[in-house]
């Protein structure tokens, strides 16, 4: 019986473009069998099932002024206190939604669907709150209720401009409960600008309360400073009095500072435009995070005794009475206004510093000001604006995936609304502005948003959505790549890779060939010209010149997001053009960098995925970079829950099944009524067994012949060898009517080989079949490696290394253990070694002759073994003789040494 998962809702799908000659299967159609992929995936599934999604939702709820329920944001890039002031927050929530959606699609486990619905419901509430004016968040106060400003809400209380009443003497009193220790947050700030004002900061630059009044900016401030920081999450009483030339600052009833030389008072300031609780007249100062209870203003200086009495009772129950200029009890529990009990009727209003969204579809974990400011920027500054459209993409993608996995219409509505909002902003901008924005490093990064918008358009059919996707055209880059002009040197790698996946989808939707041509040419500029052996690319997030690999080796190579996005692009291009090079790359990056980027350890708090994978000698992988919520950990969560997405593809007319990867898996091919099962321990096993069951069907089975499989690839059907010559870097086709029980055995012999850095042939990385082998050694210098000494006639270098007993795919060379890159350990590793073949040695027999080299570094042995495989010893000796003769003629080798080399080759014993 064909495999079918249970427990899933009937989910929607994005219609496959007619331009695709191949079609992918859905994740639910392909089940992973036991093996390295299933083991790695389980670690991520456990993390996703156990993580409290309210922590992710905290930043969204805070931005909307909703209660966060005490949830603590994850931190790092996904927190209000994160790097660059948390200007990327919200991105990780999108990744997490995608991860949960893929987990649910793959396993049918209802726990993932429940988490998705919780998140979608919360985001629906967030958007609804953002559409309205802010409303009071009532919490327990010092004497009753209090108004809380959640950190990240950008909310403050706006008082009428007559609140100070022109008083010459004054007392201002407030109960505050800070929830964060940011400096320069205001309890109150009354002023016109950053020149004329009067404020009380909960913390100054030294972390203690400060009162200041000035008519001439900071340099003219007359101030009072406290002596100790206010405690976090505790109520404190603050009061300031001014009378004549004396000002006093009280903290919890005690005078902590007095200034007897003051010449300014509220009357000197006049009527002020901005009279705020919680907000500063300095735009870069943070908004106060915490709660307010009972704010009073009197037109006189209260006595010390009156201030003391305010510590244990409401002002109305003390000798001071209510403030006669303003008095707010914050008794309200709903709404966005606060009654004034002074008798002056000065109703206060709760507001956001940024007002509100320009369109009802807006959804983000920070204000729309990030998007607005980008429109006028001419250069990047991620401390101010950090890739808002990139962040929007992750949220949009997560919502779309949530809809596709659970059929929750709320998720589709949220996603569609986001696109409506983006179109309303971007469609009004001149093309020159858009081109400038998208060309800005980091701030203008928009990730894979084009791909997701086109996918959404396929569901909504809204013309505005397709028009929106085209507004992200970066013409300078598209035109250069379409002309096959390489301009990638110096560009931010992951800012540009996912752009091209989107442009392929725009080709699908519009038929404009420049998109597809540009994407194909771009791929060829990266692979192999800027690719490391593991499939990764970039150095410190950027590309260097074409062909420079050895010259870029560092501890910040191969950003993991780059591999994730190159896999997506390779997959997308293969749907259009079945060039096996795309799937050769897919295998390389998936089996090495992507698998190796996930640590082999369980963790409830972190996904444990690398950001950079340093390729310097002795590098130790960091699986919790930058506090654990980077872009790469986000894509890492996605990668680990969709390992099976490209194992099989089908022809658009279901006439053929492509087996792209040899991976233990079970495919339910409903259109054909059959199940296709791969049984293998690949890459520990050099081959795979494929069984058809459940019925009979006619189709071509197309088996990928890896480009590295240069000899011995063999196929049998039901035990009988299939004729034909499988060519490396191709697909071998079996055409027949398949019946239940038919079994195909694919044999893919591995060999140990090296790949040379393009700019330094002596710097090499080792591969055994598809597996990149890295040395485990604490040395910070390149290891010296000689591999020709016992090379097999086939050219296989494996006889020159020693297998480690009981550890498949582990070998030793010169005392160093080499292991698969895919193993997620914290061992110091050597991805590249320095090739050293000082002597001419054959079959472990030393000729005594120094191995000569050409000016480009190619040695005599390199040139001899470039002729492998050799059918027998005689063929090798013939190659040795002809090569020696050429080198002797060129003056690179003496006649006598040449004869020693030939004689040694004749007398040596070889592994076949």
Look up tokens 């206060």; give the residue: 348
Strand, coil or helix: 839: strand
Structure tokens at 90: 């919200």
What is the arithmetic mean of pLDDT over 769-773?
98
Q: What is the pLDDT of residue 9?
A: 52
Asked whether residue 656 carries a pLDDT value surpassing 60, the answer given is yes
Q: What is the pLDDT of residue 10?
A: 56
CB 262 within 8 A of CB 222: yes
Could you list the beta-strand ranges (E) of 44-185.
Answer: 138-140, 145-149, 155-158, 170-178
Mean pLDDT for the chain overall? 96
Q: What is the pLDDT of residue 2?
A: 33
Q: What is the pLDDT of residue 84?
A: 80
Q: State the Cα angle at 131 between 84 and 120, rounded to 5°.
A: 75
Asked whether residue 40 carries a pLDDT value surpassing 50, the answer given is yes
What is the arithmetic mean of pLDDT over 790-803?
96
CB 641 within 8 A of CB 44: yes
pLDDT over 90 percentage in the chain: 97
Q: Note the pLDDT tens digit of each residue in 614-632.
A: 999 999 999 999 888 999 9
What is the arithmetic mean of pLDDT over 867-875?
96
Asked whether residue 163 carries a pLDDT value surpassing 60, the answer given is yes
Residue 6: pLDDT band (50, 70, 90) is: very low
Q: What is the pLDDT of residue 79?
A: 86
Asked whether residue 347 carries a pLDDT value surpassing 80, the answer given is yes
Q: What is the pLDDT of residue 85?
A: 80
**Domains of the chain (ranges, CATH numbers):** 51-135+365-462 (no CATH), 155-352 (2.60.120.200), 648-682+687-747 (2.60.40.1180), 839-912 (no CATH)
Number of H helices, E strands in the chain: 22, 39
How far apart CA 38 and CA 31 sit, in angstroms, is 10
Asked whether residue 7 carries a pLDDT value surpassing 70, the answer given is no
Q: What is the pLDDT of residue 61?
A: 97
How far apart CA 308 and CA 322 sit, in angstroms, is 15
Structure tokens at 763: 């710097």
Q: Is 391 left (phi over 0), alpha (psi -120 to 50) or beta?
A: alpha
Q: Note the pLDDT tens digit of each residue in 100-110.
A: 999 999 999 99
Q: What is the pLDDT of residue 332?
A: 95
Q: What is the pLDDT of residue 5?
A: 38
How far apart CA 337 and CA 351 sit, in angstroms, is 9
How far apart CA 818 and CA 700 sit, in angstroms, is 39
Q: Note the pLDDT tens digit of each residue in 357-381.
A: 999 999 999 999 999 999 999 999 9
Q: Note the pLDDT tens digit of each residue in 167-221.
A: 999 999 999 999 999 999 999 999 999 999 999 999 999 999 999 999 999 999 9
Q: What is the pLDDT of residue 240?
A: 98
């Amino acid at each position: 019986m064909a495999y079918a998962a249970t427990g899933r809702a009937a989910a929607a799908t994005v219609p496959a473009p007619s331009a695709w000659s191949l079609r992918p299967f859905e994740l639910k159609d392909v089940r992973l069998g036991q093996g390295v992929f299933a083991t790695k995936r389980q670690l991520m599934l456990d993390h996703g099932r156990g993580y409290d999604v309210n922590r992710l939702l905290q930043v969204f709820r805070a931005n909307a002024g909703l209660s966060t329920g005490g949830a603590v944001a994850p931190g790092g890039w996904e927190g209000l206190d994160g790097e660059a002031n948390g200007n990327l927050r919200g991105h990780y929530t999108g990744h997490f939604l995608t991860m949960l959606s893929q987990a649910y699609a793959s396993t049918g486990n209802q726990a993932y669907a429940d988490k998705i619905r919780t998140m979608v419901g919360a985001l629906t509430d967030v958007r609804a709150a953002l559409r309205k004016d802010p409303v009071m968040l009532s919490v327990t106060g010092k004497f009753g209720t209090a108004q809380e400003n959640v950190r990240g809400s950008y909310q403050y209380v706006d008082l009428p401009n007559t609140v100070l009443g022109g008083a010459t003497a004054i007392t201002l009193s407030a109960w505050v409960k800070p929830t964060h220790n940011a400096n320069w947050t205001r309890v109150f700030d009354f002023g016109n600008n950053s020149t004329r004002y009067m404020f009380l900061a909960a913390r100054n630059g030294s972390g203690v309360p400060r009162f200041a009044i000035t008519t001439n900016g900071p340099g003219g401030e007359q101030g009072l400073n406290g002596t100790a920081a206010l405690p976090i999450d505790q109520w404190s009483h603050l009061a300031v009095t001014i009378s004549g030339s004396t000002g006093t600052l009280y903290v919890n009833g005690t005078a902590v500072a007095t200034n007897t030389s003051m010449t300014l008072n509220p009357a000197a300031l006049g009527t002020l435009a901005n009279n705020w609780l919680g907000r500063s007249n300095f735009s870069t100062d943070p908004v106060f995070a915490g709660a307010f209870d009972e704010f009073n203003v009197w037109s006189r200086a209260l006595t010390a005794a009156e201030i003391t009495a305010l510590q244990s009772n409401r002002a109305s129950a003390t000798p001071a009475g209510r403030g006669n200029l303003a008095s707010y009890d914050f008794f309200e529990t709903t709404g966005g206004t606060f009654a004034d009990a002074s008798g002056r009727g000065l109703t206060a209003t709760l507001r956001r510093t940024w007002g509100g969204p320009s369109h009802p579809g807006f959804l983000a974990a920070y204000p729309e000001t990030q998007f607005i400011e980008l429109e006028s920027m001419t250069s990047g500054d991620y401390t101010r604006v950090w890739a808002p459209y990139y962040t929007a993409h992750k949220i949009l993608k997560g919502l779309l995936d949530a809809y596709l996995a659970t059929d929750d219409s709320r998720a589709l509505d949220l996603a569609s609304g986001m696109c409506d909002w983006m179109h309303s902003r971007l469609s009004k901008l001149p093309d020159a502005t858009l081109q400038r924005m998208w060309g800005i490093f980091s701030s203008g990064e928009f990730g894979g948003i084009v791909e997701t918008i086109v996918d959404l358009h396929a569901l909504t059919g809204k013309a505005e959505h397709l028009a929106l996707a085209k507004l992200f055209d970066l013409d300078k880059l598209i035109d250069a790549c379409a002309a096959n002009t390489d301009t990638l040197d110096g560009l931010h790698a992951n800012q540009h890779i996912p752009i091209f996946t989107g442009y392929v989808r725009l080709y699908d939707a519009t038929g404009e060939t420049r998109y597809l041509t540009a994407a194909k040419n771009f791929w060829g500029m990266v692979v192999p010209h800027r690719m490391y052996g593991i499939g990764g690319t970039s150095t410190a997030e950027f590309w260097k010149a074409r062909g420079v690999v050895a010259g870029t080796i560092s501890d910040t190579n191969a950003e993991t997001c780059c591999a994730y996005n190159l896999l997506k692009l390779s997959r997308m291009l293969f749907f259009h053009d079945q060039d096996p090079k795309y799937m050769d790359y897919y295998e390389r990056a998936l089996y090495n960098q992507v698998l190796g980027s996930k640590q082999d350890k369980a963790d409830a708090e972190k996904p444990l995925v690398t950001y950079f994978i340093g390729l310097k000698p002795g590098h130790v992988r960091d699986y919790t970079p930058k506090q654990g919520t980077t872009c790469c950990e986000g894509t890492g969560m996605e990668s680990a829950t969709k390992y099976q997405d490209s194992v099989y593809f089908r022809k658009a007319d279901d006439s053929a099944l492509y087996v792209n990867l040899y991976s233990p898996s079970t495919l339910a091919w409903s259109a054909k009524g059959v199940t296709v099962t791969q049984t293998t321990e690949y890459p520990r096993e050099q081959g795979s067994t494929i069984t058809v069951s459940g019925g009979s069907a006619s189709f071509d089975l197309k088996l990928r012949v890896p480009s590295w499989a240069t000899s011995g690839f063999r196929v049998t059907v039901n035990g009988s060898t299939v004729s034909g010559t499988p060519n490396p870097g191709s697909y071998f086709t079996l055409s027949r009517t398949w019946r239940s029980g038919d079994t195909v055995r694919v044999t893919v012999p591995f060999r140990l080989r090296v790949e040379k850095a393009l700019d330094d042939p002596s710097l090499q990385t080792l591969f055994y079949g598809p597996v990149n082998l890295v040395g485990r050694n604490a040395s910070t210098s390149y290891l010296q490696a000689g591999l020709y000494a016992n090379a097999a006639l086939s050219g296989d270098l494996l006889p020159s290394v020693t297998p480690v007993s009981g550890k498949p795919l582990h070998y030793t060379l010169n005392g160093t253990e080499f292991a698969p890159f895919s193993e997620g350990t914290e061992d110091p590793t050597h991805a590249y070694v320095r090739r050293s073949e000082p002597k001419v040695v054959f079959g472990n027999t030393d000729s005594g002759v120094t191995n000569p080299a050409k000016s480009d570094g190619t040695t005599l042995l390199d040139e001899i073994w470039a002729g492998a495989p050799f059918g027998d010893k005689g063929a090798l000796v013939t190659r040795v003789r002809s090569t020696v003769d050429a080198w002797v003629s060129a003056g690179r080798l003496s006649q006598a040494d040449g004869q020693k080399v030939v004689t040694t080759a004749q007398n040596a014993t070889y592994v076949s």
